[in-house]
Each structure stands twice: as C-alpha cells, then as structure tokens.
Structure 1
Amino acid sequence: MHDQRPSGRQLFDALQPADLATRVADEVLDAIGDGRLRPGDKVADARLAKELGISRAPVREGLRLLESQGLIVSHPRRGFFVHSYDADELKEVYDLRECLELHAAEAAMSRMTPADLDRLAAQVKLLHDLATEGQTQEQVVQDFAFHRMLCELGGNSRILRLFDQIAAEMRAGIALVGQLYSDPSEIARTHDPIIDALRARDVDRLREELREHLQDAQIHVVRLFRTGALNPARTEDLSEAERRLILR
C-alpha cells in the first residue's frame, strides 16, 4: 500500500539528540495509535528522518525496534510498513490478553488498597469525561491505562511486561477500528461493572465481568476482520450494533 497523503503535509515534529532510536520508535508508535499511520502504510525512513530533523541511521534503528515488537514489517528493496493484522492474529492477541488480565485481576483483588480502588475508579471517570468531550483517541489510550493498572496491581512484573507488548499491538489494530465506534460513552460504561466488582471484593463477579468485557471485543472485532467488514470502503455496511461493539 502506498502512502497517499499529500506530500507537503508533515507528520512529525523535529527531535533533539538523546536516545534517538527509542524516541523515533515512540513517535511512530504514537502515529500508529492515533491513526496518522494506518495498517499497511509505508513508513519512508528518509521522509521520517527529514521531518524529525535527524539522520536516517537512528530512524532505521527505531523502526527495527518496532519490527522486533511486530508493529513494523520490512521488505527488501521496498522498505518499512505498518504491520497489517489479520483476524487470526487479533484473536491470538485477545486470547493472551484475557489470560493475563484475568490472572492479574484476581491477584490484584487480594492486594488492592482503598487508595488503589480510588485510582482505578478515577481512571474510569476519566473515560466518561473523555467520552463527553469527544476525545476518542485519548480515550483509547486511557482505556489501556486502566487495564494496565489492574495488571500492575497484580504484582507480577512479567505479566505487566507482556501486557505492555500486547497493548502496543492492540493500538495498531484499534487505530483502524476506533474511528468506527459511534458511541464513546459506551466504552466508558462497560468498565463500570468491573469497578463495582472490585469495590464489592467479589472475585467471581470480577472474573465474570472482565471476561465478558474482553470476549465481547474479541468476538466482534475478529468477526469483522475475518469478513473484511473493517475495510474503510465498506464501513457503511456495518450495523449500529456492530459499530457499538467494536471497542470494549
């Protein structure tokens, strides 16, 4: 897929020297997450270097870092591209995410302090506020932050590292589907039962609510990817119910 954006439009701001490869990776990851770079888009290292105000060497190093995480793919003589996830890959990511989060959430229940619960509840309130303000891209970022908090409270650093890797992969997919979600308030509301279960310290209810929350997303996103309904040219074919259930 070729980059069809106007050649005069600059995607990135210039960087200052200091750990440039990591910062390049962060800039590209942000562009994937907010939809400036879409799955299948070419990431021209020469253009990226020019816009960031640095040489091509750290740009290539940063892109190789993202390639090692599965977010960028490279092809000989063609260059770097944003990875395009298919339905099977997304299903695998959701399956692993569910396993990690259910385990971490159960552990978090036994470790959670009142201050921890207040922090989680405040994060869900932020999701509601962002929905009201129409800040859908930021809402996606803060949605991940909520789930990361649960993993962090579980106290297993390896699970947290795996979640961070999955979150990076999920951002690439959500960049494509997030624009289809017609009611961002529903994203926030689906987190309320999780907070209620945590507040009640009901581990069985927590597992049930969290599993439903994650599985609903998996079922609908994977089905839409598998049928090709997430092709931007076919978004008008989605029902309202499908649009509401794309992101949970």
Structure 2
Amino acid sequence: MPRSKTKQAPDAGHTHKAYQGIRRMLFHNEIVPGQKIAYRDLAERLGMSQTPVIQALKWLEFQGLVRHERHRGYYTEPVSIQEVEEIYDFREQIELALLPRTLARLDTGAIDRLAAALEAHLEASREIYLYDRLLRDMDFHLTLAALSGNRVQHQTLRLLFDLLYLKYGGNILFSTSMEKADTAHKELFDHIRDNHLEGAKSVLSRHIKSVKKHVLGGLERLMKEKDKAGF
C-alpha cells in the first residue's frame, strides 16, 4: 500500500499543476471562448507530459469550461449571452439570500474581515492592476458570503465566479465601470457595518444588476464586431 501511494502522488501533483496552469491561461484570456485546445502545445508550455494536461482538461470539462468532441479533441465553450445573464441572476439570488444571516452573525471580527477585503479591492483599483482587481472584487463578495456561515451557498457562489471569470474574465474586465463598483462596495460596507439590512439589499441588488448590464452590453458589442469581421 505505501508503494502505491508514493507512485500516485506525483501524477496527482502534475495534474493539479496542469489544472491551475490552464485556469490561469483562461483567466488571462490566453485561451479564448470557442478555441480548439491543442493539448500538446499546452503540455509544452506547462513543461510536462500530455497525460496530466488531458486529466486537467477532463476536470475542466466537468466544470463546463471546456468540451470534448470525439476524434477532434478539446474546445473551450463559446460565449453565451444567456449563460452570463443566468449566472448574474443566480448570483443576485444567493447573495441577497445570505445577507440576513450575515448581519445576524455580525461582530467586530466580521466587520474587520470585510473591511480588509474592501481595502484590498480599492488598492487594486487605484493601482490599475486590472486582473488583480477582478480577483479582489470576487474576494469581497465571497468574504461577505462566507460571513453568513452558509458553506453550501458560499461554495455555489464560488463556482459561479469560477465559471464567470475563467470563461468571460477578459471580456468582463473591460466592460465594468471601476468607479461605480468602488462606490457600490463602499456603500454596501457602510450599510452592513451599520446593520442596515434593507439598505444593504438595495445597494447589492443595484450593483449586481448594473454590472450585469455592463457585461452583457460589452459581450453583445464584441459578438457583433466578430460577426462583421467574419469570425
């Protein structure tokens, strides 16, 4: 048994490394929606054999980020306006549902955690680290959800962010107003700190709807431009 465990560990480690590497490429738009994935090239870029890369692609297929076509290989899923709209609608439902529990459990430690997440987001905005800003935005919302103590809905929200940012991250990044997001996060924090549930719900709902509108508008323009260019 010990020999078997020792033998399997490197394979699992390489697969995880490949998985994280491909996730980074998706997030930074190095692999774009609708693209055929040449796993041999991926293996070369990641400095490993093809086997862990293929295993990692299977994990990503399970998450809905890539698909496998028999005798043709792996492809990233194409852009879907309906999917993005559904993700934001589901996000809004989850985040609003968690707010009452978050405020009921609120204490000094929770406020400090949320304040730190807000400050990290604002710092990333000021320094114009665009991809870092996107991650800090996610961290702020996930921190707020985690404070509710509801693990299942928190994990579901994390999976939605994964799908949204890994598949559409590059497009979302340049479709969202930084100033509006900063203002909304600060207003939301103030309402939560003051334990004002209705105010927090109003700001959060308006914020998510506004971001959804910007993202959908950006994606629609992008798809029209691609159609005109014949892609």
Q: Which residue of 2 aligns with 1:157?
A: 151
Say how many residue pairs are matched. 216
Structure number with larger C-alpha Rg: 2
Instruction: Report SS of the residue matched to 2:33.
Output: coil
Please name the residue that 1:240 is paired with: none
SS at match of 2:67: strand
Runs of 4+ in 1 over 4 A off after TM superposition: none
Q: Say whether the 8 Å CA contact 1:39–1:176 is kept in structure 2.
A: no
TM-score (norm 2): 0.85
Match of 2:94, as an amino acid? L
Query: What runs of 5+ residues in structure 2 fail to find an aligned partner?
Result: 1-9, 227-231
Deviation by residue 1:11-36 (Cα, 9 ceiling, x = unmatched): xxxxx865222222221112111222
CA contact (8 A) 1:106 1:207 kept: no
- 1:1-248 counterparts in 2 under 5 A? 18-171=12-165, 172-181=167-176, 184-225=178-219, 228-231=220-223, 233=225
The 10-residue stretch of structure 1 (129-138 or 78-87) with the greater mean CA deviation from structure 2: 78-87
Check the 8 A contact 1:33/1:174 in 2, yes or no: yes
- What code does the residue aligned with 1:144 have? M
Do the aligned residues in 2 keep the contact of 1:45 with 1:56 (CA within 8 Å)?
A: yes
Contact 2:21 2:46 in 1 (8 A): no
Deviations 1:215-237 (A, max 9, x none): 11223323443xx3024947xxx
Do the aligned residues in 1 keep the contact of 2:171 with 2:215 (CA within 8 Å)?
Answer: no
Q: Which has the higher helix share?
A: 2
* Superposed CA offset, 1:44-70 (max 9, x none): 111111222222111111011011111
Letter in 1 for 2:53: V
Q: Tell me the secondary structure at the aligned position of residue 190 of structure 1.
A: helix
Q: Distance in 2 between matches of 1:192 and 1:39?
A: 33
CA shift for structure 1 position 188: 2.1
